Amino acid sequence: KRLYNDFSRKLGRRPECISFRRSGNQRTDAEMVLRRYVLAHDCPDAIFCRSDEILMGAYKALRELGKAIPGDVALLGIDGIKDLEYLDSPVSTVVQPIEAMCMRAWQLLKDHMARPRRPIRHEVLEGKLLWRD
């Protein structure tokens, strides 16, 4: 979040964060919150969603409000779910290396179970940006 805030300020833009508490379905919650936000504050130029599920809700709200994607607002999500391929306007996403993440998590768990006193390790696996228009 700090990187986003610093970058926004460097561009002379005011950082905005639209957050919500999940009450059930991420898509529905994101749709409701974003619709209210746009009606009250106007539409941001771009929205970075912390998951593709949230992106799907944001997409629906924006389209129902008559916003063109990516013309009026660009969307970017994280996960790489297949549903994004079926949208009538292309959206980009960061594809997570799910299989590698699961394999590495399993290896770390087995290692921790074998050596419980060993310090907890943190690892980062890189995703791949999938650009769509």
Query: Parallel, antiparallel, or unpaired for β 128-130 and 74-79?
Result: unpaired
Q: What is the model's pLDDT at position 85? A: 87
Q: What is the model's pLDDT at position 114? A: 95
Alpha-carbon dihedral sign for residues 17, 78, 123, 106: positive
Q: What is the model's pLDDT at position 115? A: 94
Q: What is the model's pLDDT at position 9? A: 87
d(C-alpha 27, C-alpha 111), whole Å = 36
Q: What is the model's pLDDT at position 94? A: 92
Task: Note down pLDDT in tens along the chain; length 133 residues.
Answer: 677 788 888 988 888 888 877 777 889 999 999 999 999 998 988 898 989 999 999 999 999 999 999 899 999 999 989 889 889 887 989 999 999 999 999 999 999 999 999 998 888 999 998 888 6
Q: What is the model's pLDDT at position 14? A: 81
Q: What is the model's pLDDT at position 65? A: 97
d(C-alpha 6, C-alpha 115), whole Å = 40
pTM of the prediction?
0.79
